[in-house]
Every structure is written in structure tokens, then in C-alpha cells.
């Protein structure tokens, strides 16, 4: 029984008072996620999408084949999650509800200042021991009386309480404490954590792996004796007693033999007990007018079984009617049925095992969040501590982080310092030193230090949760190229069945013609072999034709085509996430490998994004002295007023230029903060008007109560501000040309940005600001060009500044757009997209072709454009481009406009992202090629195209080939796990450092410096590796980014455990080697319980491979 009560709230109501109801809430579409088991190919996932999506009240359905997930939007007034679960199971698949989000927004006044507070959260609390309905009602009313609780639902059957509450008003911890105060023992059930746990098992395909392994083992137990009886025993001498008992010893009825009945009894459990899942899946798919791979398995195995049973049943009748000799042995091939199911089950086992490995990266991300945190109960004193579940951590909590701890949430360090391993979240290889004021990311691992932090994001709002969500959605999405596989899958099974029937009919006709007698190989196959295979009784042409038909049906594999794209996308997005590259789906992956032009925003992308004032030129009218006095000491009061007004106005803006000028003003005036109104020297900003891409205008009231106008911006903005009075405009233009032009020209030639300041009617000063180039910018531009893309730069700066930056990084002047607003960037993207790729370079080519009458074939397509920016003021351009790439700060990754998000603000990661996308799609093409070639060769071979040459495919071999074709595609996609950044996507300084190290350590023996790391206990330190000089290691081999080292000591080959300090240490190769030498860095992995010691080793120079 379920009890539900709810209230609505007024967001304008004081948060310190009980919330009163105003308007009831309304229902909208809810979102549910299901775990779906039993999908093997694109046809299966298409069945779920099409059938469920066609139901009334279902808004959208998306199915992830490899992840085994179904996400859908539904109308909760028509459907419940349980009903949808049943609908999925009716399609022949096992389904389990993972999560459901009921969207029930309150109808409130949109002008409410507290609108942001109304973000309801649903929490599930287990409350055990409540049996009396009266007590449930009392507890329900008590919870609803809490300020910030919207609704409360009790489910007595599951002993759960679902509470909708506003987390910023009443945290979950307060609700739990309230229930505890009533003498009950509440247990928090984190739905996200529970769903994650189920999802991790689903991704690893634990249930499927165990199930198919058991099926393969059991079927092999029955199939092996059947195979021996039918294939091995007939080859024994006739005098052999085993052969005599099984093949020659009859039962009481003529034509029935002990061996045949034994095979039948062993086959029936395989066919109808172990193989019942195939029948169930095939029947349900047919009932919904779809055909899957299981239908082909059922047809093939059932045909072999039915033929054998009918043959055995007819044997006594034929003998009694004297149609055949009394020694007649019926034609049977139970081995085909049992071995087919064994091979298919074993193939499904290997396939699910391989599929589980494709999602290893996502599973690791999901398991990064710790289960508990240490909370300070008395901040800021921080003397009392308490361990609490991670679900109860709230924004604003003060937490203690000790060495080796996983950081429970995003936050800011308020005390202490430590090195933090962020490799799993940002892809940063080495630990990063974090000090007071630095941001830390939830799920990362603390090093040797202890620090206190304040939580800024918790639960599903953390960066790690957003990363997991992005990767999940990416792996659920479908690439446009997947449409080809889906289309083929829809027609594949019916076509294969038709080909099987055609094969049977065609060869039945051919085998009964005289052609068989004239072709020796056909005569051997249709006349000689059948009698040998049936125990010496002559099985006939029907058996051979039926075997050919079964081979055609069994060998065909639509799964290989269906798995080509999703497996590669799954592995590719996971590998990208491990390297700090978050790809929002298969669509961006496909778009990234087709890019022709890449647009780079200047500020924050090519440059560091942190401007500093590097020059200031005042109007000469502000000083009568021959030399400029030192600012803040002997300068005139007017200058100080102007600089104060400038600082106050720019502090209202978040633009990087404004922030830089604010910092400069504060430092120059000696202020720690801007004086407030009423204080001595206070400045009041009366109005603030900003024109995007040009500048700001405001009025300020100084401490002496005088009011002044101030304009701050570029030349275009400043000229517009002087248009009101033409005489003044002419005067100021003269001032600009005479006093500032030389300074402005010089600064802009250096790549600096110039900002003009007008104070009342006077052009007061010109400020020059510089933004340092990112050290990798030029290398990244060169890499883009080397990869075949042209590079374009857009900026709001003046043309001279933009060209100076362009020259420094290697961008041509014609590819630089300056003075561009955010909307102008969008227009530039559209302009570049309208360009045609493949046009003749010389117009004379076309006219010459027309003149000679020869055809001139030219392909035309529009230019595909990528935009790289910071995801803030570049959002219009990012959304318009074919591929939007945003650089993240490491915590703020919810950039809706971007298709790819980089966890590090490193331009070379853009190179790596495009290289990864190209690698993934090259793998997809290889998968498609292999799957297509397999079917194009396997089906004709099974149909008997090569029978005249004596080549054919036995049904057992066809089943084995079909089973392993899917495994081969998945394993092919798994090779993407070995992807690593190309050398041109790694800083040259790092590569040069390696080269110099190799030169310095050029002797026969090299010593390596290493970083010892034990993630489990967070032990991080640096030490030198040494080993006993008596241990002579002749060669060193290494491959891959993080593979075990192979050593050879003259006799032993393989893994060599080096005994150091009475314990064993295995060394892992960290990919820093190349084709030229064996330089590398090792990370020591010690056994559980081992301690970090000063261990040393000396190895001879060998050869290493990247």
C-alpha cells in the first residue's frame, strides 16, 4: 500500500519560515532507464526501439546495444515503469528498472527572485518496522511539516519513504536526523549509487558471461559423447567392440540402434533445456514481426534434430515394408544440433566477455566515488569529526581528507596542501600539487598530505557524475553510419532463410540429374560420403542437401555487422574519457574525422586567457610636468579619480579584459577592495551598459559627490561615443592620432590588446594588455595543418593585434578574423560552411573541358567546420559548427553547446581528440569490411558454390564460424584500448627532454628515475630503482602505453620478478619509449601489503617500442 501527500510552495517566502502552499504541481513526461539483457545484434535493439516507441504515451526511446541500456521518456499518467518493464520483457528480453526521474515542476511566478531554489530532489529512505498505517500517517505528516519538503510517499511493501524536497532549503541529512529523533532507524538508499552498482555489473556483463559460460559447459558435456558416437566411432575397425555395441547392436525393433537412441537422449536436453532461450527469443521476436539471430539458430538446429528423429521413426517402417534392406541404418546427425548450440553458446560467452571489456573505462569512472566521508561537525573550529555516507554530503560541508583518501565531492581547499592524482578524471599523468584556495575534483585520489575542504558540488552535480553521465549518453547514442547496419539487419534474416531454402531446392534438383555422375567431386559428395557418415547404410542425397541448407542458415551472421559501430564507439569514448577527452556521442565522433577547417578563438584557446596590463599612456593634457610622475605618489588627482572610476566600473564585468584592468587598478591605487558608497573615497557605479565586443559605458559618483561619465572600449566604441558633438569628435580624433597612435601601433604589433578610456569629454588614456601564448599553440597549429585541416583564428581584438598573434603561431593573415563579436563568430562559421570543397583550382580547367568536349567530373560538398572555444561567449559559434570543442576548467564541464569537452585547457588535446575520432572510424570501417567479407565468403561457401571442386562447409563448422565472427568484431574494437596520443600531440619540450636524457645516458647501462605509486593507499613518492649487479638482464622489451615489462636473463624468458628487499616487485612500462631506443619510465607496482622502500635497479639498454 502506498500513502502519498504533497504541498506546493511559494519561492518568495522567507526561508526561515514554514513554506505555505500556493499552486498544485502538474505532471509532464518522466524519464526512465532500464537494463535490458538478451540483445545480441542491431535487429534486437531496433525491435525494442520500434515496438516500445510505437506505444501511445512513449515520447522517445534510445537503446544502447553494448551497454544493454534503454532510456525512454513516458507519460506517467498512461504508463508506470513496471508496465514498461513488462512490455520490454514481452519482446523476449529480460528487463530491470535502473532509475526513474519523475518531472513534476511547480507552477510558480517566473519573476520570483528565489526561482533557482526550486530544484526538487527525490530521496529514498528505508524506514523499517513500520506496520501500523496510523503510525505511517503520523510520520508522513511530521516529515511534510519540515520546511522545504514538497511531498512524502510511503511504500509499506518495500518499507521505503520517498521524499521530494528542495535540497538548498532542507538537506537530506536533516530529514534523516528528524526521522532518527522519532526513535526510528532510517537508512539512506542512494538511487544513483544503486543504479550505478547495477550498471557496473551490466557493463561488465557479469550475468550474461556466467550464464553463457554455464550453457557452453553443459552443452559441451552432452555434445562431446554425441560427436564421438557419430564421428569417431564409425572410423574404428569393424572388429572393435565399442563400434559393434553402438552401431551394429540393434534393439528389439528393426532399424533402431543403441548408438542412435543414446545420441537422441543426449541431444534432447541440449535442444530443449539449454537451448530453450533460443526458442523463447525466436518466438517472441516472430510474434512482434521481427527476426533475430536466434531464429536462425532455432531453424538450423531444429531442422537437424527433426530430420534425425523422422529418419529414426521411418527406419522400422521401411524395413518392414521391405523398401530397404534389413541392415538399413537411418541417417541421423544429432551431432550437428548439439555442436551448433555448443559453438553458439561458447561464442556468446566469449562475445559477452569481450563486450564487458569494451566498457572498462566507464566502469572505472563509476567506481571512483568513495562510500563515505569525514565531516567536521563544528566548522570553522574543525575539532569534532564524524564519518557519514557519501549520500549525506551537502554543499557547504567541511570535510577532512587524509592520505590515500578518494575525494568525496568537488570543493575548495581551505587548509593544508597535498598532491592529488587526477589521472582518471582529467587525464593528467602526474599528481598535481593542491594548496589553499585550489579546486579539487571528486573521485580523485589524495597523496601524502592532509587537508580540509569545503564542498562546492555534491551528489549528481559533481564533475565526476557529469563525466559519467556524458560518457553514458555518448555510448547510448548512435552514429549516422550505424543506420547502414540497422537497415541491413532488418532484411538480413529473411534473406538468409530464403537463401537456405533456395540452396536446398537447387541442390535437390541438381543432385537428381546426370550432372552428378559426370562430376567426380559431386558424385563423391552426394553418393559416397553420405553412406559413410550415416554408419554405412547410405544416407542419400536428401541429407546432403539439408546439411547445405542448415550451413547457409547457420553461417550467416547479422550480429557482426550490428556490433561493428557500437563496440568501437563504446571503447573509443571510454578511452577518450580516460585521457580527458569527453565526447558527447557517436555523432561528434563521426563528425570529427571529417573536419576541413578548424576555427580557434584567440583568448583562452590560443592564449592563456589571463590578461595583464603591460602599458599605460595618459593624455598629455593631464600633466603639466615635462616627465610623467610616478602613479599614486606625485600624479595629479584627476588621474587617480579616472583610475578609481575605471576600476569600479570594470569590477562589474566578468570579461577577461575587465578583470585584468580591475586587478591593475587595485594594485596601482593600493586598494585591497573598491571603497563602498559612504566610505571615505567611496565610488558608486550609477549605471552600467555593456555592448558585446565593443566596450562599456557607465556613470560614477565619486567621494566628493561629483558625477562623471566614463567610456571604456575599443576604437569603434570610442568613436561612436564622440559622435554627439562634432567639434569634440574632431579634437579627440586629433588627440588619438598625435598622442596615442604610435603607442597603439607599437603595442598591437606585439600582439597586445589596446583599450581606450574616455572620461567625461576627454580621451583620457590608452591601456595595453597582453595575454601570453600557450606554449603548445604553435605546435598545435602545425599539427592541424599536417592533419590536412586549414586553421582559422577569430577574435574581438583589432586587426593588428590579431595578425601579430597569428604570425606567432603560424596562421596566415587571410585566415584571421578580427574585431568579431560572439554573434559575428557564428556568422563566420556559417560563411565557412557555405564554401565548397573540391572546386577546380583553375577556372580554365572547366572551360578547357567544355571546349574539347571531354567530361570533367568534379565532386562538390560543403566545408565541414570545427570551432574551438571556451564554451562561454563562444556558445553561438560552437552550436552552429559541425563540431564544437570546448576547453573546460576541470570542474565546469556542463557546456551544452559543445560536442567535445576537454578536461584540460591544452590545445594539443584537440589534436588528440581528432586523431582519436579518426582512429575510431578507421576501426569501424575495418569492422564493417571484416563483417561484410565474412558474410560474402561464408554464405556462398555454405551454399555449395565450390562443391564442383569438392569444397563445402559442414554445419558444425558453419556454426563455429558464425559464433566466432561476432567475437572477432568485438576483439577488433578492443584494439582501440591501446590507443595513445600521437607524438605530434605531445609537447615538444617533453619529447626533447626524453631525447636529451637518452643522449646523457648513452652508456650500455642506464638508470631510470621513477614515481612509485600505490593507488590503494595513496602512497606517492619518488625513488631510484636499483637491483643487485649480479642480476644480468640482457634485453628489455616493452610495448603499449602501460604493459608489463618482458625481461630475458639469458635462459628464462617472459615475466621476470625482481626480488628486492625480500619481496617481489613487478615493473610496469609507462609509454615514453620510441623506435630509436629503450628509454622509458617505470612505475613500480608492489604486491598487497608491501611497503615502499628505496629499491634500485640497473638495466642494460635495449629496444623499446611505442
The DSSP line for 397-453 is -EEEE-TTPBP-SEEEEEEE-EEEE-HHHH---S-EEE-TT-EE-TT-EE-S--EEE
Quick one: pLDDT band at residue 1036, thresholds 50, 70, 90? very low
- Whether residue 262 contacts residue 224, with contact meaning beta carbons closer than 8 Å, is answered with no
Cell 601579430 belongs to which residue? 804
- Whether residue 85 contacts residue 2, with contact meaning beta carbons closer than 8 Å, is answered with no
Flag whether pLDDT at 844 surpasses 60. Answer: no
Flag whether pLDDT at 600 surpasses 90. Answer: yes
Task: Provide CATH 3.30.70.100 ranges for the chain.
Answer: 2-202
pLDDT of residue 203: 56
Quick one: pLDDT band at residue 793, thresholds 50, 70, 90? very high
Q: Which grid coordinates belong to 1028?
A: 643487485
- Whether residue 709 contacts residue 590, with contact meaning beta carbons closer than 8 Å, is answered with no
Quick one: pLDDT band at residue 597, thresholds 50, 70, 90? very high
Euclidean distance between CA atoms 667 and 653, whole angstroms: 18
Render 31-42 in DSSP notation, one character per residue: EEEEEEE---SH
Quick one: pLDDT band at residue 596, thresholds 50, 70, 90? very high
Dihedral of alpha carbons 527, 533, 539, 542, sign: negative
Quick one: pLDDT band at residue 747, thresholds 50, 70, 90? confident
Residue 172 or 112, more confident: 172
Pairing of the two strands 861-862 and 439-440: unpaired
- Whether residue 586 contacts residue 478, with contact meaning beta carbons closer than 8 Å, is answered with yes
Concerning whether 486 is annotated as a catalytic residue, the answer is no
Single pTM value for the model: 0.70
Identify the DSSP state of 871: S
Euclidean distance between CA atoms 383 and 442, whole angstroms: 23
Cβ burial, residue 383 (10 Å; 0-12/13-18/19+): exposed
Render 808-832 in DSSP notation, one character per residue: HHT--GGGEE-S--HHHHHHHHHHH
Phi/psi for 641 (5° steps) reads -65, -45
Residues in the chain: 1106
Euclidean distance between CA atoms 780 and 787, whole angstroms: 10
pLDDT of residue 829: 92
Query: Which residues, including other chains, have CB under 8 Å from residue 1081's CB and lie 6 or more apart?
Result: 1008, 1009, 1010, 1011, 1070, 1072
Euclidean distance between CA atoms 943 and 931, whole angstroms: 18
Euclidean distance between CA atoms 500 and 494, whole angstroms: 10
Q: Which grid coordinates belong to 172?
A: 537530506
If you compute the radius of gyration of the chain from its CA atoms, what whole number of angstroms results? 37
CATH class of 612-770: alpha beta
Of the candidate ranges 87-96, 594-603, 858-867, 1042-1051, the one whose mean pLDDT is the lowest: 1042-1051
Render 750-802 in DSSP notation, one character per residue: TT-EEEEEEETTEEEEEEEEE-PBPTTHHHHHHHHHHTT-EEEEE-SS-HHHH
- SS3 for 898? coil
Cell 542425397 belongs to which residue? 541
- Whether residue 408 contacts residue 399, with contact meaning beta carbons closer than 8 Å, is answered with yes
Does domain 371-476 fall under CATH 3.20.20.10? My reply is: no
First-to-last C-alpha distance (Å) of the chain: 63
C-beta pairs of 1088-1091 under 8 Å, 24+ apart in sequence: 1088/1016, 1090/1063, 1090/1065
Flag whether pLDDT at 71 surpasses 90. Answer: no
Per residue, what are the HEC states of 557-595? CHHHHHHHHHHHHHHHHHHHHHCCEEECCHHHHHHHCCC
Euclidean distance between CA atoms 819 and 573, whole angstroms: 37
Of the candidate ranges 182-196, 942-956, 1085-1099, the one whose mean pLDDT is the lowest: 1085-1099
Task: Provide CATH 2.70.150.10 ranges for the chain.
Answer: 371-476
pLDDT digits (tens, 9 = 90+) for 4-52: 555 544 444 433 344 333 333 444 678 888 888 878 777 778 888 888 9
- Whether residue 434 contacts residue 384, with contact meaning beta carbons closer than 8 Å, is answered with no
Euclidean distance between CA atoms 259 and 535, whole angstroms: 10
Task: Provide CATH 3.40.1110.10 ranges for the chain.
Answer: 612-770
pLDDT digits (tens, 9 = 90+) for 894-940: 467 788 888 888 899 999 999 999 999 899 989 988 888 888 899 99
Flag whether pLDDT at 1096 surpasses 70. Answer: no
Euclidean distance between CA atoms 402 and 376, whole angstroms: 13
Flag whether pLDDT at 944 surpasses 60. Answer: yes
Query: Per-residue b/e over 945-980, b at no fewer than 16 CB within 10 Å?
Result: eebeeeebbbbbbbbbbbbbbbbbbbbbbbebbebb
Render 294-341 in DSSP notation, one character per residue: HHHHHHHHHHHHHHHHHHHHHHHHHHHTTSS-TT------HHHHHHHH
Which residue in 421, 452, 601, 797 is the catalytic one?
601
Flag whether pLDDT at 273 surpasses 90. Answer: yes
pLDDT digits (tens, 9 = 90+) for 953-1012: 888 888 888 888 888 888 888 899 889 888 888 887 666 666 665 555 543 333 333 333
pLDDT digits (tens, 9 = 90+) for 97-111: 887 876 654 444 444
Among the listed residues 970, 209, 981, the one whose alpha carbon sits nearest the alpha carbon of residue 569: 970
Euclidean distance between CA atoms 829 and 350, whole angstroms: 47
- Whether residue 584 contacts residue 901, with contact meaning beta carbons closer than 8 Å, is answered with yes
In angstroms, the Cα distances linking 846 to 336, 389, 850 are: 64, 73, 6
Query: Which residues, including other chains, have CB under 8 Å from residue 629's CB and lie 6 or more apart?
Result: 623, 635, 636
> What stretch of H or E contains 698?
strand 695-701
Identify the DSSP state of 628: P
Among the listed residues 592, 733, 603, the one whose alpha carbon sits nearest the alpha carbon of residue 660: 603
Among the listed residues 814, 890, 878, the one whose alpha carbon sits nearest the alpha carbon of residue 420: 890
Euclidean distance between CA atoms 41 and 292, whole angstroms: 8
pLDDT of residue 894: 43
> What stretch of H or E contains 187?
strand 186-189
- Whether residue 874 contacts residue 867, with contact meaning beta carbons closer than 8 Å, is answered with yes
Cell 594594485 belongs to which residue? 667
- SS3 for 1018? coil
Flag whether pLDDT at 55 surpasses 70. Answer: yes
Euclidean distance between CA atoms 548 and 483, whole angstroms: 32
CATH class of 2-202: alpha beta
> What stretch of H or E contains 84?
helix 81-90
Flag whether pLDDT at 719 surpasses 60. Answer: yes
Phi/psi for 749 (5° steps) reads -65, -25
What is the Cβ-side half-sphere exposure of residue 338, based on CA atoms within 13 angstroms? 28
Residue 326 CA, distance from chain mean position: 68
In angstroms, the Cα distances linking 520 to 525, 532, 541 are: 9, 17, 15
Among the listed residues 702, 299, 649, 709, the one whose alpha carbon sits nearest the alpha carbon of residue 504: 299
Query: Which residues, including other chains, have CB under 8 Å from residue 221's CB and lie 6 or more apart?
Result: none
- Residue 954 preceded by cis peptide, ω within 30: no
Quick one: pLDDT band at residue 178, thresholds 50, 70, 90? confident
- SS3 for 651? coil
Flag whether pLDDT at 840 surpasses 80. Answer: no
Flag whether pLDDT at 78 surpasses 80. Answer: yes
Amino acid at each position: 500500500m502506498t500513502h502519498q501527500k504533497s504541498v506546493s510552495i511559494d519561492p518568495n517566502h522567507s526561508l526561515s519560515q514554514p513554506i505555505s502552499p500556493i499552486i498544485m504541481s502538474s505532471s509532464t513526461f518522466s524519464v526512465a532507464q532500464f537494463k535490458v539483457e538478451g540483445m545480441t545484434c542491431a535487429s534486437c535493439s531496433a525491435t525494442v526501439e520500434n515496438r516500445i516507441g510505437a506505444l501511445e504515451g512513449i515520447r522517445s526511446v534510445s537503446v544502447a546495444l553494448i551497454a544493454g541500456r534503454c532510456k525512454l521518456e513516458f507519460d506517467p499518467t498512461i504508463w508506470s515503469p513496471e508496465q514498461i518493464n513488462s512490455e520490454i520483457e514481452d519482446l523476449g528480453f529480460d528487463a530491470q528498472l535502473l532509475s526513474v526521474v519523475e518531472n513534476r515542476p511547480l507552477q510558480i511566478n517566473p519573476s520570483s527572485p528565489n526561482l533557482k531554489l526550486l530544484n526538487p530532489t527525490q530521496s529514498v529512505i528505508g524506514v523499517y518496522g513500520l506496520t501500523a498505517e496510523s503510525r505511517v500517517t503520523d510520520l508522513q505528516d511530521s516529515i511534510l511539516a519540515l520546511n522545504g519538503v514538497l511531498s512524502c510517499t510511503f511504500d509499506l511493501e518495500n518499507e521505503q519513504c520517498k521524499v521530494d524536497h528542495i535540497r538548498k532549503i532542507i538537506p537530506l541529512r536533516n530529514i534523516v536526523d528528524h526521522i532518527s529523533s522519532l526513535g526510528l532507524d532510517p537508512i539512506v538508499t542512494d538511487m544513483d549509487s544503486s543504479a550505478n552498482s547495477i550498471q557496473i555489473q551490466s557493463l561488465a556483463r557479469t550475468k550474461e558471461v556466467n550464464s553463457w559460460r554455464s550453457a557452453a559447459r553443459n552443452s559441451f558435456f552432452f555434445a562431446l559423447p554425441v560427436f564421438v558416437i557419430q564421428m569417431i566411432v564409425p572410423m574404428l575397425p569393424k572388429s572393435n567392440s565399442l563400434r559393434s555395441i553402438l552401431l551394429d547392436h540393434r534393439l528389439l525393433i528393426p532399424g533402431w540402434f543403441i548408438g542412435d537412441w543414446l545420441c537422441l537422449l543426449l541431444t534432447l536436453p541440449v535442444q530443449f533445456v539449454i537451448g530453450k532461450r533460443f526458442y523463447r527469443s525466436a518466438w517472441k521476436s516472430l510474434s512482434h514481426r521481427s527476426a533475430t539471430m536466434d531464429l536462425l539458430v532455432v531453424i538450423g538446429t531444429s531442422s537437424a534434430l527433426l530430420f534425425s528423429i523422422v529418419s529414426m521413426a521411418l527406419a522400422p517402417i521401411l524395413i518392414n515394408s521391405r523398401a530397404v534392406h534389413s541392415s538399413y541404418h537411418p541417417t541421423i546427425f544429432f551431432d550437428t544440433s548439439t555442436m551448433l548450440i555448443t559453438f553458439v553458446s561458447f561464442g556468446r560467452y566469449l562475445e559477452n566477455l569481450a563486450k564487458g571489456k569494451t566498457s572498462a573505462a566507464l566502469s572505472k569512472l563509476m567506481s571512483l566515488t568513495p562510500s563515505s566521508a569525514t565531516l567536521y561537525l563544528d566548522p570553522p573550529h574543525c575539532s569534532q569529526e564524524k564519518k557519514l555516507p557519501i549520500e549525506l554530503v551537502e554543499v557547504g560541508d567541511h570535510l577532512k581528507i587524509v592520505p590515500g583518501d578518494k575525494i568525496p565531492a568537488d570543493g575548495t581547499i581551505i587548509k593544508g596542501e597535498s598532491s592529488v592524482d587526477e589521472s582518471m578524471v582529467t587525464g593528467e599523468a602526474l599528481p598535481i600539487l593542491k594548496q589553499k584556495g585550489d579546486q579539487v575534483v571528486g573521485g580523485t585520489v589524495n597523496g601524502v598530505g592532509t587537508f580540509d575542504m569545503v564542498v562546492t558540488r555534491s551528489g549528481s552535480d559533481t564533475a565526476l557524475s557529469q563525466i559519467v553521465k556524458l560518457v553514458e549518453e555518448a555510448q547510448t547514442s548512435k552514429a549516422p553510419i550505424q543506420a547502414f547496419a540497422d537497415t541491413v539487419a532488418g532484411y538480413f534474416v529473411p534473406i538468409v532463410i530464403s537463401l537456405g531454402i533456395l540452396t536446398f531446392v537447387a541442390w535437390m534438383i541438381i543432385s537428381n540429374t546426370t550432372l552428378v555422375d559426370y562430376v567426380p567431386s559431386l558424385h563423391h559428395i552426394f553418393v559416397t560420403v553420405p553412406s559413410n557418415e550415416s554408419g554405412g547404410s547410405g544416407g542419400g542425397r536428401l541429407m546432403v542437401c539439408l546439411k547445405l541448407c542448415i550451413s547457409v542458415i547457420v553461417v550467416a551472421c547479422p550480429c557482426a555487422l550490428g556490433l561493428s559501430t557500437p563496440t568501437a564507439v563504446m571503447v573509443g569514448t571510454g578511452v577518450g574519457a580516460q585521457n580527458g577527452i569527453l565526447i558527447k556521442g557517436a555523432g561528434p565522433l563521426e563528425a570529427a574525422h571529417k573536419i576541413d577547417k578548424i576555427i580557434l578563438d584567440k583568448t583562452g584557446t590560443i592564449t592563456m586567457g589571463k590578461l595583464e596590463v603591460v602599458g599605460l599612456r595618459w593624455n598629455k593634457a593631464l600633466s603639466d610636468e615635462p616627465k610623467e610622475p610616478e602613479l599614486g605618489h606625485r600624479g595629479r588627482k584627476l588621474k587617480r579619480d579616472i583610475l578609481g572610476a575605471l576600476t569600479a566600473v570594470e569590477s562589474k564585468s566578468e570579461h577577461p579584459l575587465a578583470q585584468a584592468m580591475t586587478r591593475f587598478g587595485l594594485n596601482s591605487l593600493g586598494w585591497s577592495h573598491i571603497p563602498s558608497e559612504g566610505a571615505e573615497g567611496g565610488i558608486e557605479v550609477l549605471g552600467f551598459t555593456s555592448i558585446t565586443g565593443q566596450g562599456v559605458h557607465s556613470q560614477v559618483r565619486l567621494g566628493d559627490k561629483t558625477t562623471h561619465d566614463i567610456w571604456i572600449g575599443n576604437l569603434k566604441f570610442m568613436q561612436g561615443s564622440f559622435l554627439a558633438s562634432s567639434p569634440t569628435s574632431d579634437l579627440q580624433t586629433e588627440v588619438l592620432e598625435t598622442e596615442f597612435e604610435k603607442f597603439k601601433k607599437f603595442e598591437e604589433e606585439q600582439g597586445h590588446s589596446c583599450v581606450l578610456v574616455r572620461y567625461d569629454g576627454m580621451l583620457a588614456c590608452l591601456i595595453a594588455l597582453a595575454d601570453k601564448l600557450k606554449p603548445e599553440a604553435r605546435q598545435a597549429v602545425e599539427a592541424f595543418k599536417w592533419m590536412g585541416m586549414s586553421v582559422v583564428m577569430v577574435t574581438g581584438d583589432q586587426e593588428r593585434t590579431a595578425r601579430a598573434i597569428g604570425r606567432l603561431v603560424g596562421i596566415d593573415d587571410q585566415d584571421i578574423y578580427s574585431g568579431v563579436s560572439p554573434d559575428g563568430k557564428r556568422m563566420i562559421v556559417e560563411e565557412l560552411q557555405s564554401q565548397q570543397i573540391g572546386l577546380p583550382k583553375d577556372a580554365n580547367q572547366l572551360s578547357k573541358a567544355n571546349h574539347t568536349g571531354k567530361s570533367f567530373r568534379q565532386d562538390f560538398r560543403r566545408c565541414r567546420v570545427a570551432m574551438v572555444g571556451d564554451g562561454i561567449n563562444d556558445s553561438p559559434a560552437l552550436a552552429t559548427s559541425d563540431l564544437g570543442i570546448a576547453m573546460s576548467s576541470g570542474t565546469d564541464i556542463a557546456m551544452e553547446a559543445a560536442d567535445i569537452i576537454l578536461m584540460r585547457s591544452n590545445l594539443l588535446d584537440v589534436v588528440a581528440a581528432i586523431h582519436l575520432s579518426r582512429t575510431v572510424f578507421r576501426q569501424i570501417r575495418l569492422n564493417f569490411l571484416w563483417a561484410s567479407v565474412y558474410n560474402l565468403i561464408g554464405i556462398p561457401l555454405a551454399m555449395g558454390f565450390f562443391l564442383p571442386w569438392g569444397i563445402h562447409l559442414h554445419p558444425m563448422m558453419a556454426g563455429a564460424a558464425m559464433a566466432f565472427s561476432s567475437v572477432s568484431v568485438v576483439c577488433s574494437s578492443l584494439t582501440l584500448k591501446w590507443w595513445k596520443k600521437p607524438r605530434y600531440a605531445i609537447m615538444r619540450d617533453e619529447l626533447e627532454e626524453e631525447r636529451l636524457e637518452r643522449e646523457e645516458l648513452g652508456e650500455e647501462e642506464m638508470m631510470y628515475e621513477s614515481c612509485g605509486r600505490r593507488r590503494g593507499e595513496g602512497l606517492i613518492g619518488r625513488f631510484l630503482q636499483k637491483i643487485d649487479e649480479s642480476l644480468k638482464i640482457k634485453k628489455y622489451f616493452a610495448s603499449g602505453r602501460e604493459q608489463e615489462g618482458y625481461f630475458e636473463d639469458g635462459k628464462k624468458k617472459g615475466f621476470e620478478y625482481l626480488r628486492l628487499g625480500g619481496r617481489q616487485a613487478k615493473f610496469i612500462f609507462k609509454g615514453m619509449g620510441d623506435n630509436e631506443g629503450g628509454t622509458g619510465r617505470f612505475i613500480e607496482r608492489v604486491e598487497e601489503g608491501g611497503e615502499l622502500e628505496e629499491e634500485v635497479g640497473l638495466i642494460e639498454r635495449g629496444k623499446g617500442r611505442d
